[in-house]
Chain A
Amino acid sequence: MAPKRHLGLGKAAKSKKQKKEDSSEVETPEQQSNEITVELNEEADANDEVSQLRALWRTHAKSDKDNELVVNGIIHECDRLLRNSNLAKNNESEDTSKASTDESPKELPADFHSIYALALADLALFHTTDINKVREFFDAALERVGLGLQSHDGSIELLFTKSRILINQIPLQYISQLTVESKVQGGVPKLDEKLDHALEIYEEAENQARTLKQYELFNDDNLEILQALDDLLEIVDNFGKDTLEGDESDKEEDDEEEEVQLSKKHPLYGIRNTDKYNEWWRDHIIQFLQNVDKQLEKLGISYKQDYETENALLPLRREICKRIGQSYLQEAEIPSTVFTTLKYDEGFADVDQLEGLTREQSQKISQDLFKIALDYLQMAEDKEEPESWVNVAESMISLGNLYELDSEEQENYYTEAEKILAKANNATNGKYEDILENLQT
């Protein structure tokens, strides 16, 4: 092959452009469109309408969920499938002798109803300023789930869906209408009762899974239900406070705002003034983890091992462990503060008890909690994520703080934490310099 002229990148591009401009050919500019790409997974049959619907739903669920057109599209498709299905059923009942040639499934599967209902509930997100619409969408979504459950009694999937919609309904439809002065009266319900109902449904799903020994639905999608509950509890805790700007992850204790007191008649009082929901969350996320482990067991996968290509359940497992670990850290906060105050704060030299705890009690309780937290956070370690190592190191430091100054236990925890932090600090270009320096002095 004869060598071409070596123009170089810039000149070659220019001469190509020149050629393009010289030629009379008119290129149609690419249309900006709202097209989305839907990936069908391997099992999905492109000709099976419900499979297509599932793929479309997954694409939406994994996106930022900011495209109302897509949600509307999904709902239209659900309507159509439902119509066809009803039509087929009617035909069948009219003429039972004729063999049905219609390819549409007559009985739509449980997840069809689930998708339909979730799409309806998602529509509420685009109309948060119009409370009537929000109510309509949630009513429609719950009606759809109800119809689904009529034809698929005890469906784990539909029960999960129902509890998810019920939980999401609380902030969007109810809390959004409340002020600090709101009271339970005509039309304004007690929200703890609403929440109790949602959680009962979740438990039903859990029980059903146990009975049927079907654990596949304990996946990252349904973990979102527990996340939604967690978010809801946080919303309730912060209710009445000003929203803050930006990332407040490093806010200092003295920045902490006072909690706004709610009257006993306030619709949120029953959620705010109890530990029961936090405990429920903890119990059920631990159950969730156990159910994930049952799936792993079935697949013969150990979370302790390194795999070339990771099963999707392993990152999920780490995420769950991280959340559980963090919840124990949070729980340890008060007793550990009590301990350090009673032990080191001279202003409390004459005080025997704080928050109902003696020095010894608070020490023991917080040590135990930190140890559990540490176990979970170690299981949550991801070798690609320095932050997950730092979580481990930080709980080691917290644990070390609860032992006698310069004791062997303390030194061991500190040394181990320092090693981890040094590595994480290198991996993140000095992000943990402060903590590290603090530890070294």
Chain B
Amino acid sequence: MPGKRPVEDKEDDSNKKLNTAYNKQDIHSFFNAKVWNEKFQDDIKTQVKDSEPFRWGTIRDLIDDTLLRQVRKEVLSEIAFTKKETDIYRVYQSGDLANLSGLDWDDLSRLPSLYKLRSAVYSEEFRDVISKITGCGKLSGSKTDMSINTYTKGCHLLTHDDVIGSRRVSFILYLPDPDKTWKPHYGGGLRLFPAIVPNVPKTDHEVKLTPQFNQIAFFTVQPGLSFHDVEEVRVDKQRLSIQGWFHIPQLREAGYIPGEQEETTSRSTLQQLQSKELQEFDFPKPFRSDIHAEELKIYENFASNQFSEDEIQYLKEYLNPLYLQDQNIKGLNEIFLEESVVEIKDILKEDFANLLKESIKTTELEKKTPANSKEITFPWKCSMPPHKQRFMYMDGRDVFEQSEEGIKKINKIGPQEAPNFELIKRISDDEVDKKLSDLGSFLRSVAFRKWLLVITSVIPTSDQVLIRRFRPGQDFILATKTDKLLARPNTDELNVLLEATLNLTPTATNPKNWELGEYGGYELCMALNGGDDSDFEDDDPAIYKASDPNDDSVLYTSQCKWNSLCLMLRDPSVLKFVKYVSINAKGSRWDVSCQWNVKSVDDGTEEEEEEEEEEENKDNEQA
């Protein structure tokens, strides 16, 4: 059997390969001559030193203009881009360029300028310039790491810090149309976020770079600090870019320090873990308020499923009377028990819903949508931090300042009041806030909890109600899981949460606005295999194919809707996210999100089940 490694024909090779050994003069000629000017380098060094919110820099007209135009032409004619979409981005990606030198002559001949460019970027000469102006130390010439992306209308990349493995400097070389100015209102800007404390970026960006052809932006990868995003491209234009990283020197390279790679890698992993565990700065918190034992008794004794006249009367003020009919309740209950999820259309009573719809629509047209966290005012707050989520919410509590001190006060010093939507309804003078708060109160009523019980056959033991608004061009929630242990110790709670999303997006009454998914805003649930911690060590964003109905890791998707309630029993193996809402969406996604700890209606069987479950868990562990 022949060896698996292809035997290289060395004699032939020299003919086939491009001249990879460019001399110093060649390399210099690939760049704009100013790059090699000491004074220029010193100026950039100063620019970087004085930059905010973290150390970064940019150079216009970096590469020889003819060469870069040629690169752009090659890329557009020779490289195929595929659309990739996850919870954190939508982008058209090309393949990895790291193996360019390994391609055969045919492939190299197709991309000769790109090949030159890569040699130039990773040349010792240019690496030394980058080292000098960033002060980051030596950089590897052998570990190259580049990719080509194009951001077209709707493409975006949400906030992240680029910290992975041995990355030392990030760079992005922009290649939009060379004969046109890229204007700020096209979107696609590189935005930099300051940190409140390390690992916690502020909600609003501080700096935005509008990229031009042949401009490079770069920054030292700074764990916990270098948070940035790519603003969504708003128009039908191509924002092509080559982006990549300089890594720390590898074995047998100048500047190689034994152990440094391992240290950097482990530091970045540690940082990621810390960042994940740093929940002190997460708002809103997944804290549910306990339902009192006296109230629980009401549900425990509500076996007959018979609502009193008064209860029916109250429920009818809000709910569609169809869903108070025994037969329909029974039907929904069966679906829920079978599927663990049920979607209930037109859940709210028609006139209540219509009034709500009209007032939300009016708000969207008459009032400017808050463009940053400072424009958000009581009773609304902005969720944070933005590398995990951003959206407006009302939780029935007071507002607080999003600073280190403000957060310390609310977490550790100040009053810990219970949510009170009724109070907000009374003091707010905004029609939408009043109506939504009213709904919030209703969702916390005994009668509604009873209704929930008959639909789901579980008893709520704690709850949280959040009224949310996801603004176009800003808001999202990245994939998150719940705690592994949902049932609290010494309770008979199930290790699941009952979750509800009451979708109240008025623009969804026109189906063409959201149904195609191009404006995002959809909620998606995915399965973590097995549901244990090992699945989440990998920090890659949850990758899925939105268009592939056969992808069985997707458990549930829901586009923005008007007046639709989704009830779901969520176990710790379910990842959930709300996709970033496009700036071109016709309005915000509005919803109410609720969570309840729950226990089974029947204590007796539950014990058996728990035993069974424990058995099953043991089996899984053994497996």
Contacts and interface: CB of A to CB of B under 8 A. Distances in A.
B555 A10 contact: yes
A12 interface: yes
B444 interface: no
B145 interface: no
Given A246-B238, A247-B236, A426 B369 contact: yes
Given A4-B337, A246-B237, A13 B600 contact: no
B552 A17 contact: yes
B325 interface: no
Contacts of A250: 183, 235
A6 B496 contact: yes
Given A3-B601, A10-B574, A423 B365 contact: yes
A156 B338 CA distance: 58
Given A9-B525, A14-B573, A423-B366, A429 B473 contact: yes
Contacts of B510: 384
Nearest to B609: A5
Nearest to A11: B571
Contact of A427 (B185, B238, B587): B587
A3 B337 contact: yes
B367 interface: yes
B235 A9 contact: no
Interface string B544-569: 00000010100110000000000011
Interface bin, chain B: 35 or more
B208 interface: no
Interface string A235-264: 000000000011100100001000000000
Nearest to B496: A8
Given A9-B574, A247-B237, A434-B185, A427 B568 contact: no
Given A10-B570, A384-B510, A245 B177 contact: yes
Given A245-B177, A427-B365, A427-B587, A12 B185 contact: no
B339 A10 contact: no
Contacts of A12: 339-340, 569
Contact of A9 (B236, B340, B366, B609): B340
B517 to A, nearest CB: 18
Contacts, number: 116
Interface in B151-188: 177, 180, 183, 185
Given A3-B457, A13-B552, A426-B366, A8 B573 contact: yes
A13 B366 CA distance: 44
B368 A426 contact: yes
Contact of A6 (B236, B494, B555, B583): B494
A3 to B, nearest CB: 5
Contacts of A1: 333-334
Interface bin, chain A: 20 to 34
B605 interface: yes
Nearest to B528: A10
B364 A427 contact: yes
Contact of B586 (A7, A427, A434): A427
B397 to A, nearest CB: 28
A233 B224 CA distance: 58
B221 interface: no
B542 to A, nearest CB: 13
A2 B337 CA distance: 10
A343 B15 CA distance: 70
B472 interface: yes
Interface of B: 177, 180, 183, 185, 234-238, 333-334, 337-341, 364-369, 371, 457-458, 471-473, 494-496, 510, 525, 527-528, 530-531, 550, 552, 555-556, 568-574, 583-587, 598, 600-602, 605, 609, 612
23 contacts: A3-B602, A3-B605, A4-B457, A6-B340, A6-B569, A8-B495, A8-B496, A8-B570, A9-B568, A9-B574, A10-B527, A10-B570, A10-B573, A11-B573, A12-B340, A12-B569, A14-B527, A17-B552, A246-B238, A384-B586, A427-B364, A428-B584, A434-B185
4 closest residue pairs by CB, A with B: A8-B571, A10-B573, A247-B236, A8-B496
